[in-house]
Structure 1
Amino acid sequence: MKSTSSSGRWWSYENKLLAILFLTFGFVFFDRLALSFLFPFMSAELHLTNAQLGMVSSALALTWALSGAATGAWSDARGTRKPLLIAAVLGFSVFSAVSGMVTGFAGLLAFRALMGIAEGPVLPLSQSLMAESSTPSRRGLNMGLLQGSAAGLLGAMIGPPVVIHIATTYGWREAFYVSCIPGFLIAWGIWRWVREKPPGGTQLAQASTLPATSRWALLKERNVLLCVLISCFFLTWFVVIISFAPTFLVSTRHFSPTDMGLVMSCLGAAWVVWGFVVPAISDRIGRKPTMILFALVAALCPISLLYVDSAYALGVLVFLTYTGLGCFTLFMATIPAETVLPHAMASALGLIMGAGELIGGFLAPTVAGLAADKYGLSVAMWMSSGGALLACLLSFGLVETAPAVLDRRALAGRAAASLGVRNAGGRS
């Protein structure tokens, strides 16, 4: 029976699911990054310091990591994803809105930590649903749009002007309050249209020999272990750039705030474009060479921030080299989804995401900040570049999983075997 997800209809289940999950994860990052843009409005009223902003961000990253890993394993053990995803969307929407009611640092810290608990499961649950319902030839593209492009478009491009406009016009508390509305609508859309299992059964190849869903069993899989390590280093690249680049450009490189905004806008545009282009390329040439190439390119992004003097030239270079968000989809979702059995998929994705958030999202910014205080902000850029370079080196050890590449290899192997048989027959 042919799955409707692979039909030619533009509104097939595959495309419908992609649209819903695109909005879902996009608004996760919309809410996660909102605090950064609203902090200047909040800090004076609540008497907050930059150190407290860092603590709030770290608390969210910590609970995000723990919740994502635990919920992914829990969902695999019970074979359920849709109800958990609906609960997660409703949860982060409520906690984001309640952030507008805080009266001090303690309340803000508590509600953002709770928001991290709700947001953590969204990615492993969403990518598991998407992987199972994707046509193999466009699995990387679908998962890249869901994770990379959605977060870039809604979180880094649309989010800032919308949030700042509401805060300027009505107040920062109102900006938090209205942030829950899209979440409630998305939760309804998931309840209405998303299915627990794809029509016609899963299309995901079940080539793995993994017998169990325990974390130790998952780490015995070479690709899963490598993706865990890559996640730690690549999250370091991402979080250090996103956290320190604006301050670095203004205070160290002496760019004007306007020029800094231009450069960061180019970063947001690159996030959207490379978020789906890199995974789409991997569908054609393979996951492993794509990871190696674009991780190496990503290592050049913080270096360009160190040495390029023209804001316009730097904007172009940032756009061309900020390729890591496309790689994120590969090591955090596509490669593990194509490596493990479907019943272990959410566990693997949660483990990889959780490890990356703990090291890259929770520890790396603190280490980078301490090093920057002692040696200057330039060291943070070198630390970011080193993270991407280490991710590139680890990618050489990955085992290829792209269906198109494996099919070509199998076809070439059969052709070589057939030629060998004919040659042997001719010699006899």
Structure 2
Amino acid sequence: MSTPHGKTASPFKQPRAVWAVAFACVISFMGIGLVDPILPALAESLNATPSQVSLLFSSYLIVTAVAMLIVGWISSRIGAKRTLVIGLAVIVLFAALAGATGSINGIVGFRAGWGLGNAMFIATSLAVIVASASGGFGGAIILYETALGLGIAVGPLLGGVLGGISWRGPFFGVAVLMAIALIATLAFVPATPKPARRTSAAAPLKALRHRGLLTMGIMALLYNWGFFTMLGYAPYPMELDAHRLGLVFTGWGLLVAAFSVFFAPRLQARFGTAPVLYANLLGLAIVMAVIAAGVRTPAVVIVAVIVSGAFIGINNTLTTQAVMLVSPVERPVASSAYGFLRFIGGGLAPYVAGLLADASGLSVPFYLGAATFLLAIPILASGHRLLRQAERQLGEGEAVEPALTPVGGAAPAGSPLLVVAVGAHDNAASIVDTAARYAEESGSVLDVVHVSETAVVEEQAVETETHDQARAAVTAHLDRLAARGVAATGHVLASVGDHAAAGRALARHAAETGARTVAVGRSPRGPLLQFADGSFTTALTHAATCTVILVEPDDDPRPLTAATLTELRGDRA
């Protein structure tokens, strides 16, 4: 459970390396939405049919899908920074070539090259920005989320402005902006170490033999089929120019970003991952059916597309979390396997939609998209038990033993248990020592617990620390306590999602172990970090079935009540 060091930290006080990658992330997230406002203009200017123009999405996404299978293999051999830099360079080259060509086939081909660069970038950007951040991973996640929101929202707006000048504008715009990001990355981002273990090129495909990962991947494939059908074909029945299309998709992008970052985790906490996904997929199916039925009424299509942004934002985040929860393989391998399936669905959908539109009319692809959303529901249901089981297992921690033998005798069996949450900040040792004193006075056994988080931002996931780092954090406290003759146990818990999810994981662990008390320290995390990804302490207090106390160095512990939480404004351990 990594937190900033020292005093309350601002997520925006980061090294230039973080800002360089964050800027590149903004441009990358612009990529898909940027071309939506110019689709009708492309068809008119290049004498192409909508089905031919739709291949812009198909070539880009299919190449991205295939490349996801080998990006881990590449990154594990040359390092994350080099992989990211090569990806940026490839995007610059092929975006410029797409703007310079004069045929629809040329643009389709160069978009395929763009997809290769996109795969290399998206597979490493979140890991690089977290590794380069100062003051803990929380600030880096905030910046990544900010970049995501800006890119998704501003991409269509910029595409509309540049597309109003020329259909070539968005392509050249991306090339210039990504070139700036490439130079900044080369100048400011330090070299990243190569992973200790190389990833096999076949690992992602082998991972799909696991039922849970394959089930969630197929569900994501069906979801992305419907999503990219809408993205590739909705601009045509709107009958708007590039500027107005840009505004429509900006509204859509704002809802995607807001519901992905702020609403999805809170809905998940209240109702659970699977129930929210069931309702969300049904909502998307209804929206697509409305578009299909009202395809000849531009106002209906416009409103439905904007509204779909809320459902898409929720689905992107929770589908990724579901994949990470059920996957029994390493996070990068799971991400590659999942990315392969979801991008394949997104790539095939515009092509098939084009064939259907040419043969049967524009409403048919949207009805098919609605059907794929509905079909994703029973696919998800087939893995429901695995998902629920994975969520329950998050509270089952891995035991950690001290390297030193305790000087004093072990606590008697049946003694009450006091769990202390330990984060990676400067006051951690003092908090553990104060909790140990309270445990000794109350005749309790101390359990030192560290929550190792997998952060999920929209469709990306990254481990915030290695398994060895998490174990070392607990072992250091146990060794210090053992040297003083204090009997203590230790655990490392796993958590997937925001910081509040870590609080709920600790509450489940306390319930499973029969703890009577959970102790947490005052966090140096500021209110912005708390608002963005939930409050650890608030989530813990609401979910815990035992007493939760606030432990501060050299002070007597005090119960965490509603009044105390209000005073702390949701500070997290």
> Match for 1:190 among 164, 185, 188?
185
Cα contact 2:73–2:200 (8 A) shared by 1: no
Distance (whole Å) between structure 2 residues aligned to residue 135 and residue 33 of structure 1: 31
The residue that corresponds to 1:364 in the other structure is 349
The residue that corresponds to 1:377 in the other structure is 362
The residue that corresponds to 2:341 in the other structure is 355
Distance (whole Å) between structure 2 residues aligned to residue 163 and residue 385 of structure 1: 32
> Match for 2:231 among 231, 242, 258?
242
> Match for 1:228 among 217, 220, 223?
217
Distance (whole Å) between structure 2 residues aligned to residue 117 and residue 50 of structure 1: 24
> Match for 1:326 among 311, 314, 329?
314
The residue that corresponds to 1:301 in the other structure is 287
1:8 and 2:8 aligned? yes
What one-letter code is carried by the residue in structure 2 that aligns with 1:71?
V
Distance (whole Å) between structure 2 residues aligned to residue 372 and residue 6 of structure 1: 59
Q: What displacement does 1:417 show?
A: 9.8
What one-letter code is carried by the residue in structure 2 that aligns with 1:305?
I
Which segment drifts farther, 172-181 or 377-386? Answer: 172-181
What one-letter code is carried by the residue in structure 2 that aligns with 1:381?
F
Q: What displacement does 1:140 show?
A: 8.6
Q: What displacement does 1:307 show?
A: 5.1
Cα contact 2:21–2:125 (8 A) shared by 1: yes
Cα deviations by residue, 1:11-33 (Å, 9 ceiling, x for unpaired): 46789887655543432243445
Q: What displacement does 1:124 show?
A: 2.0
Q: What displacement does 1:4 show?
A: 4.2
SS of corresponding position for 2:514: helix
Q: Which residues of 2 match residues 171-320 of structure 1 at below 5 A?
A: 171-173=166-168, 175-194=170-189, 214-249=203-238, 264=249, 266-281=251-266, 284-285=269-270, 287-306=273-292, 318-320=305-307
Distance (whole Å) between structure 1 residues aligned to residue 89 and residue 11 of structure 2: 26
Cα contact 1:25–1:146 (8 A) shared by 2: yes
What one-letter code is carried by the residue in structure 1 that aligns with 2:70?
A
Question: Per the alignment, do residues 191 and 13 of structure 1 end up closer, same or farther by CA in structure 2, a change over 3 Å counting?
Answer: farther
What one-letter code is carried by the residue in structure 1 that aligns with 2:97?
V
Cα contact 2:10–2:139 (8 A) shared by 1: no
Question: Per the alignment, do residues 241 and 182 of structure 1 end up closer, same or farther by CA in structure 2, a change over 3 Å counting?
Answer: same
Cα contact 1:140–1:330 (8 A) shared by 2: no
Q: What displacement does 1:41 show?
A: 5.0
> Match for 1:390 among 350, 375, 387?
375
Q: Which residues of 2 match residues 144-163 of structure 1 at below 5 A?
A: 149-156=149-156, 158-163=157-162
Number of residue pairs aligned between Structure 1 and Structure 2: 394
1:64 and 2:163 aligned? no
Cα deviations by residue, 1:30-64 (Å, 9 ceiling, x for unpaired): 34454444455555665544343233432222212
Q: What displacement does 1:241 show?
A: 0.8
Cα contact 2:161–2:242 (8 A) shared by 1: no
Tell me, which stretches of 5 or more residues in structure 1 are unaligned? Answer: 202-209, 419-428
Q: What displacement does 1:351 show?
A: 2.2
SS of corresponding position for 2:54: helix
Q: What displacement does 1:182 show?
A: 1.5
Which segment drifts farther, 291-300 or 211-220? Answer: 211-220
Cα contact 2:220–2:342 (8 A) shared by 1: yes
Question: Per the alignment, do residues 371 and 121 of structure 1 end up closer, same or farther by CA in structure 2, a change over 3 Å counting?
Answer: same
Q: What displacement does 1:320 show?
A: 4.2
SS of corresponding position for 1:115: helix
The residue that corresponds to 1:52 in the other structure is 52
Distance (whole Å) between structure 1 residues aligned to residue 146 and residue 325 of structure 2: 17
Q: What displacement does 1:196 show?
A: 6.4
Larger fraction in strand: 2
TM-score between the two structures when normalised by the length of structure 2: 0.57
Question: Per the alignment, do residues 40 and 72 of structure 1 end up closer, same or farther by CA in structure 2, a change over 3 Å counting?
Answer: same
Distance (whole Å) between structure 2 residues aligned to residue 259 and residue 174 of structure 1: 16
The residue that corresponds to 1:406 in the other structure is 505
SS of corresponding position for 1:103: coil
Q: What displacement does 1:173 show?
A: 4.1
Distance (whole Å) between structure 2 residues aligned to residue 406 and residue 139 of structure 1: 22
Instruction: Name which structure has the greater RCO, CA cutoff 8 Å, separation 6+.
Output: 1
What one-letter code is carried by the residue in structure 1 that aligns with 2:95?
S
- Percent same amino acid at aligned positions? 18
Distance (whole Å) between structure 1 residues aligned to residue 120 and residue 150 of structure 2: 16
What one-letter code is carried by the residue in structure 2 that aligns with 1:405?
R
Distance (whole Å) between structure 2 residues aligned to residue 13 and residue 5 of structure 1: 13
Q: Which residues of 2 match residues 13-52 of structure 1 at below 5 A?
A: 21-38=21-38, 46-52=46-52
Q: What displacement does 1:410 show?
A: 1.9
Tell me, which stretches of 5 or more residues in structure 2 are unaligned? Answer: 392-495, 518-573
Distance (whole Å) between structure 2 residues aligned to residue 135 and residue 317 of structure 1: 40
Which segment drifts farther, 380-389 or 22-31? Answer: 22-31
Distance (whole Å) between structure 1 residues aligned to residue 380 and residue 140 of structure 2: 20
SS of corresponding position for 2:234: helix
What one-letter code is carried by the residue in structure 2 that aligns with 1:331?
T
Cα contact 1:137–1:283 (8 A) shared by 2: no
What one-letter code is carried by the residue in structure 1 that aligns with 2:337?
L
SS of corresponding position for 2:335: helix
SS of corresponding position for 1:10: coil
Larger fraction in helix: 1
Task: Give me the CA root mean square deviation.
Answer: 4.3
What one-letter code is carried by the residue in structure 2 that aligns with 1:390?
L
Q: What displacement does 1:197 show?
A: 6.3
SS of corresponding position for 2:9: coil
1:116 and 2:101 aligned? no
1:84 and 2:83 aligned? yes
Cα contact 2:27–2:177 (8 A) shared by 1: yes
